[in-house]
Amino acid sequence: MQKPNSPSMKTGFIIIIFFILFVPLNAQDVRSVRLEKKAMRRSVFIPGMFSEWKHTGGVNVDSIRVYKAEKTIYYFFNPSTTHIPVRNEWETNLRMRIKQALGKRFNDYTIHLLARNRELEEYIPNAYRETIQNTDKKRTAKSYPGPALVRRLDQPVFRNGLSDHHIAIWPSHGFFFDQQLDRWQWQRARLWQTVEDIFPWSFTSAYLVPMLENSGAVVMLPRERDPQVHEVIVDNDGSTGLSSISTTGSWTSNQYKGFKWADILFSNQNPFLDGTSLSSSSHTSSVTYIPDIPESGDYAVTVSYAKTEACDTGVRYTVHYDGGSETYTVNQCMGTGTWIYLGTFHFRKGQNQRIGSVTLTGSVPGAILSADAVRFGGGMGNVARKPGDEVIAKQRSSVQGVPDVIATPDTSVFNYVLSGKPRWMEGSRYYLQYAGMPDTLVYTLSNGKNDYNDDYMSRPEWVNYLIGPAQAQYSQKYSSGLDIPLDLSLAFHTDAGVSWGDTIIGTLGIYSTTRNEGFFPDGRSKMTSRDLTDLVQTQLVNDIRREINPIWTRRGMWDREYSEAWRPVVPSMLLELLSHQNLADMRMGLDPRFKFIASRAIYKGILRFLATEQGYDAVVQPLPPDHMAVELIGGKQVRISWQPVADSLEPSANAESYRVYVKINDGGFAPGVPTAQKSMVYELPEYNAVYSFRVTAVNKGGESFPSETISAGIRPGDNHPVLIVNGFDRVSAPAFFDKYDMAGIASWQDEGVPYSYDLSFTGSQYDFTRNSEWINDDNQGWGASHANMEASMIQGNTFSNPAVHGKSLLDAGYSFVSVSDEVFESPRFIKAVYPAIDVIFGEERGVKSLLSDSVADFRLFTQDFIKAVQEYTSIGGNLLISGAYVGTDMAENSDSAAIHFASDVLHFSWRTNHATTIGLVQATDAGSSLLPSSFEFNTGWDSPVYRVESPDAIEPSGKGAFRICRYASGSTSAGVAYSGNYRTVILGFPLETITDERQRMEVIGRIMQFLTSQTAIKKL
């Protein structure tokens, strides 16, 4: 069995003498009391043994009891001792030191070390125990035999991963209705440009949940997972827009209750009890759901079905989307009467059954097939709240034609208030009502008087309801639950405290072993919750210390009766990853690199816990491949190649095979094609189309995140494509500043780059004074931030810009292929075959490494890049480079080699950054043949592409160089060109941020014509 590495134990030689809490004599004789005092005097410990756990509370001996007749000594440690991660070597070392200190007098005494009425050995997780014989059998579990609730048919079964495991996770709190203040609001304060109600969501949605699902797990969430604000319902009781249903075979309605859509839900209203569903006794019957998609984009697909007497364990749902189709099996013997997530897919606007539909078919002859609603997208919150909401519900029920009235709300009649937020931002209490959970779980925990309490109590009660009869309950109130065999639950929070200075608050874990005499209903010890907490916290701290910060704080593991810790009837952990209130923590917490590493650590902790509990070897899913390249090999054939990435933290995370994903133009990626090789030959089905490729690595533990996306497009007869180099790799946090009494986020200097996109940004920080005190959540003090950007999608690095440039090249008549910058910089890469190279630098910029302030990641003109360009231009190669920091990066890093390279080879010099806040660019007279007279790039938030907050102004350098455009605001030079033995065009803004497609195509096309044309042009 694979076991994680134990932390090192520090030692020293300063003596600590522990004091006795006097114990009543009772039956103990005077000699025993003397022995206890002697044992205490002789008990010396090494303080270094405890120094690593200085943030967990003091470790002391409360008392010692000596039983002379039994020759036994009991050391009773204080409760704080249980806050530390107990390990075999630590406990053995402690025991040895005690025996040495006691001397020969006590040589034949048995020593017991206890804390909170348990032997210290009991606090060692099974995963860290030295032998299988020492395993606590009450902390093991049988694996679920399957079939799982949901499984994607083309996903391998990861037996060393998380296949057939079911996990419940929730990302903190959410928007809620405060009845006393009579308003919707956050449950926490807006600090450091975010708020805890959505900050953990940025970890779970983008990283943790996909990691678990890539390992085969079924992940359940009590909050909406899809940020898509549009929602399409296709249902037999009525659909939205022009959505429709078609059936084959024989179907019956009204036999079983089902979902019925309503645009507003009031108290005591369960949409899964308001409607009907379809049922069929023939497994050959089918239903096809055809949505009317309001806007092209990505939509989560969730399905519902009713509880039947003879259910089908393998119902097939095939999703047809813009890119291909995926088939899932759903076990309809569990998870009835709620929303079950299949996956997220790209759909085009409108109705198109071939690339926009879901088809349901059965698999088990004789079983009853159930078909209820299918939902596309997350939508907006639709639960109405107001003081006296129960009265409103009665008013509503007395009105004729309620659906018509609701469609045009009359607040004077109903007096309701909706949140006005996308559903994913709301608290669990509201989504769970929409998802069909019973009243006793959703809003009667506080008798309907306190949505805040209902929210945090509903989440763990939801866990128990999902399990339902699958486990014996503390009471019978969930005897009609959903039979989903959940393995564990994780409450993800970031509320771990605050420090005035630069001290990191760090990671806290909370579990509960109280209630029900310390056992779960299935007989397992609740110490499994401590094991889960220990493994996750240990993995987090170890990984963060090795990859990010060597002094990351490990806080305690608390055995407390927090609702989210004690209520679930399965192993559960309440994680406080860091402190969203504390600047030192948030300097890292806002960084996408930290989010990936921390989320991967949580996934690994969960994996190791379940592998230990159920007795199999854990294998960690690989990291994404890199060194991506696509090259033309003739006709319409291209070769895609890549390299695996080793994980220095995980020996098991090696790639064993790969999956190649392809998409055409602006559609979605088709299902992956498996291969054991590190390259694949692919014949493009058509000329004059953009084909994009990304690759994942696969092993017995799961599938990695996707690589960056590279693209190719071939025009007939053109065998000399333009090469696109993707040099935009950066993801990072915004800039920070610290001037002792003033500190915070310097977004005016650098707003950072999210991974793909960020939805946790509330608005810029406005209070930078360290001494500003918190008064209330509306007057937050130091770190207070605006609310103007809530629910806005902040675009980041999608790692897919070659397709954007490539589309413009195809339109201009050029074939193209693309590579990552690592490939381009390799001395083995042949560059001479390309008539021109288009280098994408986007918002690439040197930023401090996570582990060292002296190292800068994401530099532009590295030594390898300089050598590659010099090699290419020396043979007359032509170059286009665009990016927001083409000059700033070398200037702020005082990089003389890069400065000389820019001046002598690229023929430009840097003048300033923050050159404009308005993205209007105007061609100069000299550039009029290269560029349209004017065009715009994006400097705003509301855009499908990232905003350029700080473009560079650059000037020509040397003979043959000239200005080609200026920023309309400020008139500084925005781009330069050079014509000599080779040609270059350098732009101080990223070309992919020109949002008007026609303008972008014209700009890139005319620049490429200049680079590849031999016709002389006029220079000024």
3-state helix/strand/coil string of 89-117:
HHHHHHHHHHHHHHCHHHCCCEEEEEECC
The token duo for 919 is: 């993205």
pLDDT at res. 439: 84
Please, which pLDDT band fits residue 43 given cuts at 50, 70 and 90? low
Q: In what order do the strands lie in the sheet with 166-171?
A: 218-220, 166-171, 488-493, 572-576, 507-511, 554-559
pLDDT at 959 over 70: yes
Residue with tokens 């019956």: 252
- pLDDT for res 409: 41
Quote the CA–CA distance of 419 and 430 in Å, as a whole number: 10
For 190-198, what is the mean pLDDT? 97
- Decide: helix, strand or coil at residue 605: helix
pLDDT digits (tens, 9 = 90+) for 483-541: 999 999 999 999 867 776 778 999 999 999 999 899 998 899 999 999 999 999 999 99
Residue 317 CB partners (closer than 8 Å, separation 6+): 303, 327, 328, 329, 330, 342, 358, 359, 360
Q: Which phi and psi angles does 112 have, rounded to 5°?
A: -115, 130
Distance CA 478, CA 465 (A): 6
Higher pLDDT, 181 or 986: 986
Bridge partners of 492? 171, 575
pLDDT band at residue 33 using 50, 70 and 90 as cut-offs? low
The two tokens of residue 941 are 């938030």
| Beta bridge partner(s), residue 967 | 921
Write the pLDDT tens digit of every residue in 569-613: 999 999 999 999 999 999 999 999 999 999 999 999 999 999 999
Q: List the alpha helices (DSSP H) in 146-297.
A: 199-203, 209-214, 271-274
CA torsion angle 641 647 651 653 (round to 10): -60
Helix (H) or strand (E) holding 266: none
| Pairing status of strand 297-303 against strand 340-347 | antiparallel
Classify residue 225 as left (phi > 0), alpha (psi -120 to 50) or beta: alpha
Separation between Cα atoms, residue 799 and residue 806, nearest integer Å = 14
Residue 29 has a pLDDT of 47
In this structure, the number of other CB atoms found within 10 A of the CB of residue 1017 comes to 15
What is the per-residue pLDDT across 658-716, written as a single tens digit (0 to 9) for each?
Answer: 999 999 999 999 999 999 999 999 999 999 999 999 999 999 999 999 999 999 999 99
Q: Give the whole-angstrom CA distance, residue 506 versus residue 556.
A: 10
Read off the pTM. 0.93
90 phi-psi bin (left φ>0, alpha ψ -120 to 50, beta other):
alpha
Report the Cα 942 to chain-centroid distance in Å. 22
Q: How does strand 374-376 pair with strand 340-347?
A: unpaired
Of all residues in the chain, what percent carry a pLDDT higher than 70?
90
Q: What is the dihedral of CA 915, 921, 923, 924, to 10 degrees?
A: -30
Residue 476 has pLDDT above 60, yes or no: no
pLDDT in tens, 5-17: 433 333 332 223 3
What Rg value do the Cα atoms of the chain yield, rounded? 31
Residue whose tokens read 């198109």: 352
The amino acid at 201: W
Give the sign of the dihedral formed by CA 871, CA 872, CA 876, CA 882: negative
Helix pair angle (801-811, 997-1012), 10° resolution: 70
Cα separation, 368 vs 289, in Å, equals: 19
Q: At residue 852, what is the residue type?
A: S
pLDDT in tens, 156-169: 999 999 999 999 99
The residues that bridge with 925 in the sheet, in sequence order, are none
Q: What is the DSSP letter of 30?
A: H
Model pLDDT, residue 878? 97
100 — pLDDT class (breaks 50, 70, 90): confident
Helix, strand, coil percentages in the chain from 3-state DSSP, rounded to 5? 25, 30, 50
Of 645, 632, 623, nearest to 710 (Cα)?
632
Is residue 642 predicted with pLDDT exceeding 60?
Answer: yes
Over residues 799-809, the pLDDT tens digits come to: 999 999 999 99
Mean pLDDT confidence for 363-385: 95
Q: Which residue has the higher pLDDT, 402 or 856?
A: 856
- CA neighbours closer than 13 Å in the CB half-sphere of residue 532: 30
Residues 285 and 281: their CA atoms lie apart, in Å, by 8
Confidence check: pLDDT of 410 > 50? no
* Dihedral (CA of 93, 97, 98, 103) sign: positive
Of residues 440 and 280, more confidently modeled: 280
Report the pLDDT value the prediction gives residue 942, as an integer from 0 to 100.
Answer: 85
The pLDDT of residue 853 is 83
Average pLDDT of 332-360?
Answer: 97
Cα separation, 256 vs 272, whole angstroms: 10
Sheet of 836-842: strand order equals 679-683, 637-643, 626-634, 816-820, 722-726, 836-842, 878-883, 983-987, 973-979, 961-967, 920-923, 934-936
Bridge partners, residue 920, by sequence:
936
Provide the pLDDT for residue 588.
Answer: 95
Please tell me what DSSP assigns to residue 694: E
Residue 48 scores a pLDDT above 70: no
Q: Worst-scoring range by mean pLDDT, 52-66, 601-615, 737-751?
A: 52-66
CA 819 vs. chain centroid, Å, equals 27
Rounded distance, CA 192 to CA 764, Å? 8
CA 819, 824, 825, 827 dihedral sign is: positive
Backbone angles phi, psi at 321, to 5 degrees: -135, 175
Least confident range from 247-251, 437-441, 818-822: namely: 437-441
Looking at residue 40, what is its pLDDT?
Answer: 66
pLDDT > 70? residue 390 = no
Among 95-99, 295-299, 876-880, name the one with the lowest average pLDDT.
95-99
DSSP state of 692: E
Residues 6+ apart with CB under 8 A from 900: none
Q: E strands along 847-941, which residues?
A: 847-848, 856-857, 878-883, 908-912, 920-923, 934-936
State whether the Cα torsion 759-760-761-762 is positive or negative: positive
Output the pLDDT for position 61: 87
Alpha helices of 791-943 — where are they, by DSSP H?
801-811, 821-824, 863-873, 888-892, 896-901
pLDDT band at 392 (very low <50, low <70, confident <90, very high): very low
Q: b/e per residue, 102-126, with b = 16+ CB within 10 A?
A: beeebeebebbbbbeeeebbbbbbb
Phi, psi of 583 (to 5 degrees): -65, -40
Average pLDDT of the segment spanning 137-146: 91
Give the residue from 793, 607, 613, 634 showing the smallest Cα distance to 212: 607
Question: Cα–Cα distances in Å, from 291 out to 226, 232, 348?
Answer: 17, 7, 10
Residue 53's pLDDT band, with cuts at 50, 70 and 90, is low
Q: What is the pLDDT of residue 146?
A: 87
Mean pLDDT for 257-266 is 94
pLDDT bin (cut points 50, 70, 90) of residue 305 is: very high
Q: Specify the 3-state DSSP secondary structure of 538.
A: helix
Secondary structure of residue 797 in the 3-state scheme: strand
CB 574 within 8 A of CB 524: no
Q: What is the DSSP string of 325-370?
A: EEEEEE-TTSSTTS-EEEEEEEE-SB--TTTSEEEEE--STTSBEE
| pLDDT mean across residues, the chain | 90
Closest C-alpha to 536, from 568, 567, 507, 566: 507
CA angle 940, 946, 949 (to 5 degrees): 55
pLDDT at 103: 86
pLDDT tens-digit series, residues 749-790: 999 999 999 999 999 999 999 999 999 999 999 999 999 999
- Mean pLDDT within 177-197: 94
Residue type, 900: H
Separation CA 125–CA 509 (nearest Å): 15
Distant-in-sequence, close-in-space partners of 492: CB < 8 Å, separation ≥ 6 = 169, 170, 171, 172, 200, 203, 204, 208, 575, 577, 602
